[in-house]
Amino acid sequence: MVHHPRDRGSRGLSRRDFLRRSLAAGVALPTASAILAACGGNGSGGGDGGGDEDLTPRFGTADKPATLQLYDDNPAIASNLEPEEGPLVLYNWEQYIWKRVLRDFSKKYGIETKVETFYNMEQAIQKFQSGEIEFDIFFPTIDYLPKLVAAKMLQPLNHDYLPNLKNVWPELQDPYYDKGSQYSLPYTVYTTGIAWRKDIVPVEPEELSASSNPYEIFWNADYAGEVGIYDAYREALSLGMYRDLLDQTNLNESDPAVIAKAKDRLIELIDLVDVKTTIDGAYSGIPEGKFGLHQAWSGDIQAGPFYATDPKKDAPLFRYYWPARDGFGGTIDNDMYAIPKTAKNPVLAHLFLNFMMDEFNALKNWSWLGYQVPFNVVNPDTIFEESYPGLEGWFVWDYEAPPGKHWDNLKPTIVTEEDVKIGKRAIGLEVDVDSIWQDAYSEFKAGA
């Protein structure tokens, strides 16, 4: 699984999270999962499938874009249909959409909107597959999208209902993982970079930019006890790869030797800097001063002022750097919306997607979420100062900022369309290759 910013699992809880989660705690062993009719695929990418239906997941890459399969027995809905009466049900990560925006949608169409939540993709897929839960909008990760399409669990989108898609960056209107956006629309976009507190790690982004290898900062013994990385196997091992290979890193590596080298790099961190593995270390650990340096999703650190003990004092100390902008290589990812084949309200679901492709609604959601939307209107040079009409002062980077000021040091957390072109992405791996990654990470986590 490509780890997700909202995947809080059980490996680290923020103060805000833990009370709520302690109620819902408990590891549920998966009891049963239906055997897919589409089980014949071997998980590898590409292929036209010969004469029969192609049920092999197609994993697209920047070099080899994928047009996901369309099936005769899984058509898109017809155009110009009247919306259903709802309620519209979203199946989403917890706290990953602003309720106020949902309320706006409900008001506009006079229907009820509900949100069902999941903790991680596996849990979501299991419930999706078993039909345990019914919903109209899903939020899959990039590695699962081709699998869900091959299993005919998603329905193709009818773009007649989606004129607002034009507001999205052209790069993501026609993304390489789903050419023509046949099954998905982009939701949020974020980079995986380096976040730190200037008071603990006295370095400026310019210094990393001028260095020969910005990723080496994690291996700097001066910061022992202050360093954290994400407790997510793809992200963590990718950091080990960037350390040696920089821009030559392949996030979907299948060579066991390269993966083992990355693992050894991570193991070095244990003795060198006493590295911690967390999920909340960037979004609450850095703001609270528990960490001086942490691998970070841009959205986590963008919302940093909200989690700071004293935002006026702490927020100016936050720093974020994404090495890909200086040619060192770096990870980028975006989340997406999709409509399940079994949706009870497919027309309403299309209307909702179009509603969320509206500039104001999307930016309003971002202002609360801290995770950016990939819209043309977002000008990285001016969004801090000019905000968006009607949303002035709403954005999380303005949280507790002095009147008329913004936490400008968080500007590097803004993602641009160019970033999507230069960033590397972790896509779905074959089951056996994935096991190599997971075994390597388990070994690092064993602290041997």
* 214 part of the interface to other proteins, by CB under 8 A: no
Is the bond preceding residue 87 a cis peptide, omega within 30 degrees? Answer: yes
Strand partners, 334: 189
Q: Which two tokens stand for residue 289?
A: 């001063």
How do the residues of the chain divide into helix, strand and coil, expressed in percent and rounded to 5? Answer: 40, 15, 45
* Rounded least distance, CB 291 to other proteins, Å: 10
Pick the binder of other proteins from 24, 78, 257, 446 (CB under 8 A): 446
Hey, is 230 helix, strand or coil? strand
Which residues have CB under 8 Å from 61's CB, separation 6+? 45, 176, 252, 425, 427
Pick the binder of other proteins from 289, 311, 316, 380 (CB under 8 A): 289
Closest CA to 289 of 314, 320, 319: 314
* 270 part of the interface to other proteins, by CB under 8 A: yes
Q: Would you say 34 or 210 has its CB closer to other proteins? A: 34
Nearest-angstrom CA–CA distance, 18 and 10 = 10
* 20 part of the interface to other proteins, by CB under 8 A: no
Pick the binder of other proteins from 95, 129, 250, 254 (CB under 8 A): 129
* 277 part of the interface to other proteins, by CB under 8 A: yes
* 338 part of the interface to other proteins, by CB under 8 A: no
Pick the binder of other proteins from 181, 278, 331, 345 (CB under 8 A): 278
* 38 part of the interface to other proteins, by CB under 8 A: yes
Residue 306: CB atoms within 10 A of its CB come to 18
Strand partners, 113: 88
Over the window 370 to 409, marking each residue x when it contacts other proteins by CB under 8 A and - when it does not, the resulting string is: ----------------------------------------
Q: Which of residues 140-169 bind other proteins (CB under 8 A)?
A: 144, 147, 150-151
Q: Would you say 17 or 174 has its CB closer to other proteins? A: 17
Nearest-angstrom CA–CA distance, 151 and 38 = 6
Backbone angles phi, psi at 75, to 5 degrees: -80, 160
Pick the binder of other proteins from 20, 25, 202, 204 (CB under 8 A): 25
Number of residues binding to other proteins, judged by CB under 8 A: 62
* 12 part of the interface to other proteins, by CB under 8 A: yes
- Map tokens 């700071």 to a residue: 308
* Region of residue 223 (phi > 0: left; psi between -120 and 50: alpha; otherwise: beta): alpha
* 287 part of the interface to other proteins, by CB under 8 A: no
Pick the binder of other proteins from 74, 117, 120, 354 (CB under 8 A): 120
Q: Would you say 336 or 396 has its CB closer to other proteins? A: 336
**Stretch of 99-107, 245-253, 326-334, 438-446 contacting other proteins, by CB under 8 A:** 438-446
**Stretch of 9-17, 179-187, 243-251, 393-401 contacting other proteins, by CB under 8 A:** 9-17
Which residues have CB under 8 Å from 229's CB, separation 6+? 218, 235, 236, 239, 266, 269, 275, 276, 277, 278, 281, 294, 295
The answer to whether the beta carbons of residues 307 and 288 sit under 8 Å apart is yes
* Chain residues that interact with other proteins, rule: CB under 8 A: 1, 9-13, 15, 18-19, 22, 25, 27, 29-33, 35-36, 38-43, 57, 120, 122, 125-126, 129, 144, 147, 150-151, 224-225, 228, 231-233, 270, 274-278, 281, 289-290, 431, 434-435, 438, 441-448
